[in-house]
Chain A
């Protein structure tokens, strides 16, 4: 399928989805049932506010990604791309378990095909394999949970699950929640189920990464919201605490790994984990507030979480598209080989800068608004009269603040090393600006970031409406006028429009004053290097050096693996021929969690080999025994 056709079809699909989603958010209800299509239960599509929000999110992210795809020559996988977008649009619309699982599986398989790509490198093969295994492990959990819920409530329709949460005993509810949380958490990239994300997202082409990071992980959050707030009814407070702690851990782990990575796209992938953590902190706070009876605060935290999910889709897609353009121009993903691209690729640089400022949560862009809202929700925790919950909230607040600061550092590094100063390799020196389609896509997303930042007074009421609909509470009062967003009465207020206008005016003031005073002009010169004669790109700071203070401060977390190999001369060990030094962060989740688990699995499988005797008679015996057991149990 040619690139233009894919782009056009994808963009059209995205626009339709976005329109339908916005309609759903605004209260339009719609459903479609085709009972004979897929047994058992049939195909069922329902549109409600929460589903509509995520549908709109998927649609609006698909449009720029498709436009970007239109500019890629020679990329295969157009059909898989369209199937991916269609499946992602179907997931929030699904009205029963079978539709949901089918759409979910189609989404996973389509993205697996896209990650696999041209099967031309070991890296993409292993990334696709790990992704395949983890997404199907998650699917197994989801299947188990949905079948259990189906058997307990005698129906596979989501509407029936929402209507009868009291039919479940607390233990049953907890089991269902844990299974659903594991399944959806694996898709969202929550610690410690995140290991596939930093492998799969860099290996995929950039428009696919943009969709995976921007939209697909949000569907994991969508599932978690359905599980924790809708299907299983108002759960106990410890569910929210668990979600908040998982969110804080994800946020910190994600940003810490993003700070030290040399692969530009892996930095963005870890940053996705960080932002998913932030959304989960807000979602967890919502669950705790709801369990404590504070409905207004629950609506506020959920609205903050949804806002951050939307913002993340916008700026992460922007960053991935920018990274794709940069990687294509510089021929490598290693940011230590880049540099000086701000002069060669000015539009991409401006777009990437907008994305970086947004993701670092700096005013007046959109990332700041959702972080501010999350803080406001968390800071009112004193309303909960239980000190142990207050302690969890305090940890969440501190973790969120630290994450914000580290994210600023991470994106100073990402933008600064990639775009500024002198090019560190010949190919970076010869980089060419991206084509018109990628630039248009990035421009759209940058405009979205600015718009979402300057218009919280329009977006927040809509999201609060969605939150109220999910939680079943009456809608919040309209949060004040067009200029300011106020929270919980007089607790706090924010006006990004006023801040942006003030910044604009304050920027012009010194310019005008200096122009009027006829201050002397500029003279071009050389960078001050202490009078050093040689000034090359080797004199610049590297990404590794930039991250070094963090590597030392968080040494207890990175637990670096240090290796020093010395090759000495054959004649005398005092003459060194070659030194190889390696100092890389230890992948602690892979080493301490996954490898032992996989080894245990291997050992168990080895023991189970005893069952495979090879004789057909023994196998027939097994089949008869299984049939007998099932007949007895039924």
Chain B
């Protein structure tokens, strides 16, 4: 019981505390790849701390939904942090749901963020909301079909079950269904977390924004919460990629030594994935908005191929 609580707390601390570092490392890598010295990897912590010391300007056009949304975003990502197998294969809320719950938890956050974008009554917010829900809706089928491919091979859709079943399989990565599902999920990750080539997180041109446009109206502590939730969402998506597809180093239960090795393992896997993401982001240009459905349809085709190879290879 104590071990469970400690494990849950450790997982929360790793996700909540490590997410800004992940974003900082990503920005630093992207800067280095284009010849700049770049910000320090722990710069996002300074940014968040500064934001918490600023006042929040709230538009008179908005309603309680605008002020409620940042807290809800943080809440959904924190709850998701206890469902995703980050440090242990069966985290504290692992019994409460599986990948479907995770996807819809993130959708809950997106729903309210889209409403908050419309709430301010500015054209930017409405545009951001409209595009964000369009991209999120088109990414859903790919997620479910990619996870279907995993569930078919693991015999269970429970995330902990998938991790444990795959951890014992030596020829895991050699399976084409596995690699196809990974590719499909990677593209979906880029779409859902708003990275290039779907959305540029560093753009200043409102007409090119998807996620940022909804956030333009936030300031002070609300902005800090939204940025933090966004960083945690990226962290969780990368963790899903790492631990579902390469589940080595994920112990079954909490214990001090197990948690330490798990933290090291996830740090190493996330470092590799972040480097890959930085490489992709610095090499491709942002896609035109109406080319994004083609990209997502391509990822859906990959996921469908993955399911078909499961059938062909059983």
Spot the interface stretch: A16-24, A55-63, A107-115, A548-556. A548-556
Closest-by-CB residue of B relative to A411 is: B111
Docked pose: A397 CA to B147 CA in angstroms = 11
Give the chain A neighbours of B104 by CB distance below 8 A: 361-363, 368, 371-372, 404
Docked pose: A496 CA to B101 CA in angstroms = 10
Closest-by-CB residue of B relative to A493 is: B95
B-contact bits for A483-500, CB 8 A (1 contact / 0 none): 010000011111110110
Closest-by-CB residue of B relative to A550 is: B134
Q: Which of A419, A491, A502 has the most CB of B within 10 A?
A: A502
Closest-by-CB residue of B relative to A511 is: B71
Docked pose: A418 CA to B203 CA in angstroms = 30
Instruction: Tell me if B9 is interfacial: C-beta within 8 Å of chain A.
Output: no
Complex contact A408–B133 (CB within 8 A): yes
Docked pose: A549 CA to B72 CA in angstroms = 26
Q: How would you classify the secondary structure of chain B's contact residues: helix, strand, loop or mixed?
A: helix
B-contact bits for A50-81, CB 8 A (1 contact / 0 none): 00000000000000000000000000000000
Complex contact A491–B122 (CB within 8 A): no
Instruction: Tell me if B307 is interfacial: C-beta within 8 Å of chain A.
Output: yes
Docked pose: A379 CA to B147 CA in angstroms = 10
B-contact bits for A505-541, CB 8 A (1 contact / 0 none): 0110111001001011111111111000001010111
Given known pairs A495-B97, A553-B138, A553-B293, the reply for A397 and B145 (CB within 8 Å) is yes
Give the chain A neighbours of B67 by CB distance below 8 A: 522
Q: Which of B52, B59, B304 has the most CB of A within 10 A?
A: B59
Instruction: Tell me if A416 is interfacial: C-beta within 8 Å of chain B.
Output: yes
- Tell me which residues from 322 to 381 in chain A have a Cβ below 8 Å from any Cβ of chain B: 342-343, 353, 357, 360-363, 368, 371-372, 375-376, 379
Q: How would you classify the secondary structure of chain A's contact residues: helix, strand, loop or mixed?
A: helix
Complex contact B79–A502 (CB within 8 A): yes
Instruction: Tell me if B247 is interfacial: C-beta within 8 Å of chain A.
Output: no
Docked pose: A549 CA to B129 CA in angstroms = 11
Complex contact B101–A494 (CB within 8 A): yes
- Tell me which residues from 363 to 412 in chain A have a Cβ below 8 Å from any Cβ of chain B: 363, 368, 371-372, 375-376, 379, 382, 387, 390, 394, 397-402, 404-406, 408-409, 411-412
- The total of interchain contacts (Cβ-Cβ below 8 angstroms) comes to 256
Complex contact A401–B143 (CB within 8 A): yes
Closest-by-CB residue of A relative to B102 is: A363
Interface residue range, chain B: 35 or more
Spot the interface stretch: B18-26, B156-164, B248-256. B156-164
Give the chain A neighbours of B53 by CB distance below 8 A: 519-520
Give the chain B neighbours of A502 by CB distance below 8 A: 78-79, 82, 93, 96
Give the chain B neighbours of A514 by CB distance below 8 A: 52, 221
Q: Which of B82, B108, B119, B122 contacts A362 (CB 8 A)?
A: B108
Given known pairs A343-B63, A522-B55, the reply for A412 and B111 (CB within 8 Å) is yes
Q: Which of A399, A402, A416 has the most CB of B within 10 A?
A: A416
Docked pose: A521 CA to B67 CA in angstroms = 12
Instruction: Tell me if A420 is interfacial: C-beta within 8 Å of chain B.
Output: yes
Instruction: Tell me if A417 is interfacial: C-beta within 8 Å of chain B.
Output: yes
User: Distance (Å) between the CB of B54 and the closest chain A CB?
Assistant: 6
Docked pose: A620 CA to B158 CA in angstroms = 75
Give the chain B neighbours of A387 by CB distance below 8 A: 311
Give the chain A neighbours of B290 by CB distance below 8 A: 549, 552-553
Complex contact A372–B100 (CB within 8 A): yes
Complex contact A360–B111 (CB within 8 A): yes
Number of interface residues of A (CB under 8 A): 82
Complex contact B95–A498 (CB within 8 A): yes
Instruction: Tell me if A546 is interfacial: C-beta within 8 Å of chain B.
Output: yes
Closest-by-CB residue of B relative to A547 is: B130
Q: Which of A397, A399, A527, A537 has the most CB of B within 10 A?
A: A527
User: Distance (Å) between the CB of B234 and the closest chain A CB?
Assistant: 18
Give the chain B neighbours of A498 by CB distance below 8 A: 93, 95-96
Q: Which of B107, B158, B304 has the most CB of A within 10 A?
A: B107
Docked pose: A372 CA to B98 CA in angstroms = 10
Instruction: Tell me if B7 is interfacial: C-beta within 8 Å of chain A.
Output: no
Docked pose: A574 CA to B295 CA in angstroms = 43
Give the chain A neighbours of B200 by CB distance below 8 A: none
Complex contact B58–A549 (CB within 8 A): no
A-contact bits for B49-66, CB 8 A (1 contact / 0 none): 000111111111111110
Contacts beyond the supplied A408-B136, A507-B72, A519-B221: 16 A-B pairs with Cβ under 8 Å: A372-B100, A394-B307, A400-B144, A404-B140, A408-B107, A420-B118, A502-B79, A506-B78, A524-B58, A524-B60, A527-B217, A539-B123, A540-B118, A541-B130, A549-B130, A549-B290
Q: What are 8 A-B pairs at a CB distance below 8 A?
A: A363-B105, A406-B137, A409-B134, A416-B118, A416-B119, A493-B98, A511-B71, A523-B58
* Residues of chain B at the chain A interface (Cβ within 8 Å): 52-65, 67, 71-72, 74-76, 78-79, 82, 93, 95-98, 100-101, 104-105, 107-108, 110-111, 114-115, 118-123, 125-127, 129-131, 133-134, 136-141, 143-145, 148, 151-152, 156-158, 161, 216-217, 220-221, 225, 289-290, 293, 300, 304, 307, 311
Top 7 nearest A-B pairs (CB, nearest first) are A541-B126, A405-B137, A421-B121, A416-B118, A506-B75, A405-B140, A409-B133
